[in-house]
Amino acid sequence: MTKPIQLVLLLLSLCQATLVLAHAVVTDYSLKIAPIHANRQDKVELSFNSQIELGLSQIFLVRKGDKHELLQAENGNKKGQIIVHIPPLAEGDYALRFKVFAADGHLTEDVIHFSVAQ
């Protein structure tokens, strides 16, 4: 009787692990190695662990005072990569706030903080 219970518990834990992995998670982003410089238009590359439905996703620039500006983005050359177009920015602190849908339909929201300097 113990073995069937252990088997059921194992299967349930595997199902939960699959559900956690279904969400799109940022695995890398270009701001780590390439900062945004003041008063220049730029791009930020976001890499996710799964394909993103860009048409159903939104990426915002967050400015001081919690002002949100919808940014333009396009698919990159690699699976799960998005290129975000950044307008010229003054020096200061900003954030990228995104709501992205993975190809399997799961919604992920996250924020990446960054600073702009000369």
pLDDT at 103: 86
Instruction: Please give the share of the chain, as a percent, with pLDDT higher than 90.
Output: 75
Instruction: Please give the share of the chain, as a percent, with pLDDT higher than 70.
Output: 81
First and final C-alpha spacing in the chain: 68
User: Any idea which residue has 């400015």 for tokens?
Assistant: 63
Single pTM value for the model: 0.78
DSSP-derived pairing of the beta strands 81-86 and 73-75 = antiparallel
Q: Does pLDDT of 89 surpass 70?
A: yes
25-54 pLDDT, tens digit per residue, is: 999 999 999 999 999 999 999 999 999 999
| 73 vs 112: CA distance, rounded Å | 16
